[in-house]
């Protein structure tokens, strides 16, 4: 298309129009060398594109150990939980036997731009013997695997992969001048940026992710999930100390240890996004996700925290939930334990002041999750404003900030006018909003959703393509009624849909200000936003 523009055959807009946004994916991820011929072991759901080879490992700790020893590893699990996070970080790719396109493994890997194949039903993971079998073939720990995340194919052995040129340029490995592919890509996206009105942000949880996002053209961070920071290194121990504390004093003691770590992360993210908005979501997942569930790790934790094992077991059991997705999480945590919100608020404002003192233009937007009534929002906002006043008073600097909310529950959308009187922005959490609108758990849908789509009962997987009729209607209600009471209400989405071309088009039509997606999907969203703008002309 670029050549045709050069030749004067089509104009720039037509060039932008002719490149399907989804096609950019292949420019961004490594692929298996097309000259290699091999028969796949099995095929799962292509949850996150890219090709990767590595040795199979079956638990996150082994992944970390082998990665530290210099091995390329592929983490193979029945399904992953937040406790696998460090294993996913250490792995080149993730393969799971269960879970759908928006299961934990899929979402986390996609967020990291890392290859993932999930819901690969044919494999049977035998954790005890550290192997899996598929159709009689056994793959043991240490055996090589190659995954093609674009097609969901899993191969035995170490197949050759080719890295993407575009990524090598954005990561600084090669220069733009040496890459004609990058130049085309870059020029095309430049044209796209000229026509689109929808802004594109990225979901990024660390300074490193923020830098990658910016290199891909993100115009801010739409979702920084603070909980991911709590899983790294020794932080999980302080987090667990907070959870098992008997009283507020004990919680505050543990939170005091977490504060400087969070502050450091936020400062790094503000630095990476100098001049751009950074939306930080307060702690969201239920606390039991941070605790070990028995076994060696439980024993160790009891010793580290000096808590009797029976007491620790009792705490873990008392936090167990029937439906964690609908349980004690989001702002419900911050309301039960205001000291958590207070710590997070302090960490954000202290980081902001420190960054400002270094000349960085800081634009924090603090986001309160899982709000269902304006009273919940007001409760949390008051704590954050108090923290802001304290920090700014002590440090003698003024930080410009916004406080807004996720709209991820139907009730929040249906009462958007009340909430918008108090909230300065809405970010539609379309993953959770889809789950609650459909009454459908992402993690459990794998058992029947494929059949639903195959038989046409669902036209699309609603976790991949935003549902215009149901979820979209709630968003429209919230946009319209929210803007009616606050005309300058900032509106965006931060679900996985933000990187899916048809969903991006819908967001444009619904009048949102921005979409936010995984860093590696930012170029796709930029192009899709341009398509939406051109289609509306």
- Contact set with its own copies (CB under 8 A): 321-328, 332, 335-336, 370, 372-373, 375-376, 379, 408-411, 414-415, 418, 432, 435-441, 443-445, 447-448, 451-452, 456-458, 467, 469-471, 473-474
Residue 136, number of CB atoms within 10 A of its CB = 5
In whole angstroms, the minimum distance from the beta carbon of 258 to its own copies comes to 22
Q: Which is nearer to its own copies, 80 or 164 (CB)?
A: 80
Half-sphere exposure of 356 (CA within 13 A, CB side): 17
Which one, of 54, 231, 34, 44, lies nearest residue 122 by Cα?
A: 44
CB of 234 to its own copies, least distance (A): 28
Nearer to its own copies, 44 or 49 (CB): 44
Measured from the CB atom, the residue of 59 and 444 that comes closer to its own copies is: 444
Exposed/middle/buried for residue 88 (C-beta within 10 Å: 0-12, 13-18, 19+): buried
89 three-state secondary structure: helix
Q: Which residues of 457-489 are buried (b: 16+ CB within 10 A; e: fewer)?
A: ebeebbbbbbbbeebbebbbbbbebbbeebeeb
293 versus 357: smaller Cβ distance to its own copies: 293
Burial class for 33, CB neighbours closer than 10 Å (0-12, 13-18, 19+): exposed
Residue whose CB is less far from its own copies, 325 or 392: 325
The smaller minimum CB distance to its own copies, of residues 259 and 440, is found at 440
* CA–CA gap between residue 348 and residue 369 (Å, rounded): 16
Helical packing angle, 522-536 and 180-195, nearest 10°: 40
Q: How far is the CB of 510 from its own copies (least distance, A)?
A: 15
Identify whether the C-beta of residue 408 lies closer than 8 Å to the C-beta of residue 433: yes
Query: Strand ranges (DSSP E) for 149-263?
Result: 153-156, 161-162, 199-203, 221-225
Question: Of 279 and 435, which CB lies nearer to its own copies in the complex structure?
Answer: 435
Query: Residue with structure tokens 């920084």?
Result: 224
Q: For residues 360 and 414, which CB has a smaller minimum distance to its own copies in the complex?
A: 414
Q: CB 410 → its own copies: shortest distance, Å?
A: 4
Residue 443 C-beta: closest distance to its own copies, Å = 4
Alpha carbons 394 and 201: distance in angstroms, whole number:
32
SS3 329: coil
**Least Cβ distance, residue 45 to its own copies (angstroms):** 17
CB of 99 to its own copies, least distance (A): 9
Q: How many angstroms separate the CA atoms of 187 and 176, rounded?
A: 11
**Cα four-point dihedral sign 167, 170, 175, 176:** positive
Contact between 170 and 215 under an 8 Å Cβ cutoff? The reply is yes
Catalytic residue status for 517: no
Which residue in 86, 104, 288, 508 is the catalytic one? 104
Closest approach, Cβ 435 to its own copies, in A, equals 6
| 308 three-class SS | coil
494 is catalytic: yes
**Torsion-angle region of 359 (φ positive above 0: left; ψ -120 to 50: alpha; else: beta):** left
Residue placing its CB nearer to its own copies in the complex, 378 or 513: 378
Instruction: Give dist(CA 113, CA 108) in Å, integer.
Output: 9
**Sequence-distant (≥ 6) Cβ neighbours of residue 421 within 8 angstroms:** 374, 485, 486
Task: Name the minimum Å distance from CB 436 to its own copies.
Answer: 5
Interatomic CA distance for residues 112 and 231, integer angstroms: 15
Report the catalytic residues: 104, 494
């Amino acid at each position: 298309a670029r050549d045709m523009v050069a030749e004067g055959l089509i104009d720039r807009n037509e060039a932008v129009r002719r490149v399907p946004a989804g096609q950019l994916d292949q420019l961004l991820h490594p692929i298996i060398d097309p000259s290699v011929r091999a028969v796949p072991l099995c095929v799962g759901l292509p949850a996150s594109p890219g090709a990767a080879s590595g040795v199979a490992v079956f638990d996150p700790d082994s992944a970390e150990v082998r990665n530290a020893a210099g091995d390329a590893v592929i983490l193979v699990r029945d399904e992953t939980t937040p406790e696998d996070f460090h294993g996913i970080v250490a792995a080149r790719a993730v393969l799971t036997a269960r879970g759908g396109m928006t299961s934990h493994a899929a979402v986390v890997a996609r967020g990291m731009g890392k290859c993932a194949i999930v819901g690969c039903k044919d494999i049977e993971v035998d954790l005890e013997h550290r192997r899996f079998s598929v159709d009689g073939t056994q793959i043991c720990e240490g055996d090589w695997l190659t995954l093609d995340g674009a097609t969901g194919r899993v191969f035995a052995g170490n197949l050759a992969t080719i890295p993407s040129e575009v990524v090598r340029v954005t990561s600084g490995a090669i220069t733009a001048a040496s890459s004609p592919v990058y130049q085309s890509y870059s020029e095309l996206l430049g044209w796209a940026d000229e026509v689109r009105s929808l802004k594109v942000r990225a979901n990024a949880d660390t300074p490193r992710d923020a830098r990658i996002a910016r290199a891909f053209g993100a115009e801010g961070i739409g979702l920084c999930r603070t909980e991911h920071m709590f899983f790294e290194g020794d932080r999980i121990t302080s987090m667990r100390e907070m959870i098992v504390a008997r009283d507020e004093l004990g919680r505050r003691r543990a939170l005091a240890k977490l504060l400087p770590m969070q502050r450091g992360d936020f400062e790094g993210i503000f630095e990476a996004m100098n001049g751009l908005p950074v939306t930080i979501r307060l702690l969201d997942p239920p606390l039991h996700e941070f605790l070990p569930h028995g076994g060696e790790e439980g024993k160790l934790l009891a010793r580290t925290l000096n808590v009797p094992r029976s007491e620790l077991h009792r705490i873990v059991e008392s936090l167990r939930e029937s439906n964690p997705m609908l349980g004690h999480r989001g702002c419900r945590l911050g309301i039960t334990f205001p000291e958590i919100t207070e710590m997070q608020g302090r960490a954000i404002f202290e980081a902001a002041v420190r960054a400002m003192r270094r000349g960085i233009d800081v634009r924090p937007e603090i986001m309160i999750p899982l709000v269902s009534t304006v009273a919940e929002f007001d409760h949390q906002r008051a704590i954050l404003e108090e923290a802001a006043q304290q920090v700014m008073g002590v440090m003698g600097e003024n930080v410009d900030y916004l406080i807004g909310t996720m709209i991820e529950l139907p009730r929040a959308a249906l009462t958007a006018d009340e909430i918008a009187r108090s909230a300065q922005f809405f970010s539609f959490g379309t993953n959770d909003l889809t789950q609650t609108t459909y009454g459908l758990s992402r993690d459990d849908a794998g058992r029947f959703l494929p059949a639903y789509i195959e038989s046409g009962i669902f036209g699309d997987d609603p976790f991949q393509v935003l549902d215009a009729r149901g979820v979209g209607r709630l968003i429209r209600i919230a946009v319209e009624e929210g803007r009616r009471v606050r005309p300058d209400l900032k509106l965006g989405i931060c679900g996985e849909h933000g990187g899916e071309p048809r969903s991006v088009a819908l967001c444009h039509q619904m009048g949102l200000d921005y979409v936010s997606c995984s860093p590696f999907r930012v170029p796709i969203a930029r192009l899709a936003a341009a398509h939406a703008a051109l289609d509306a002309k």
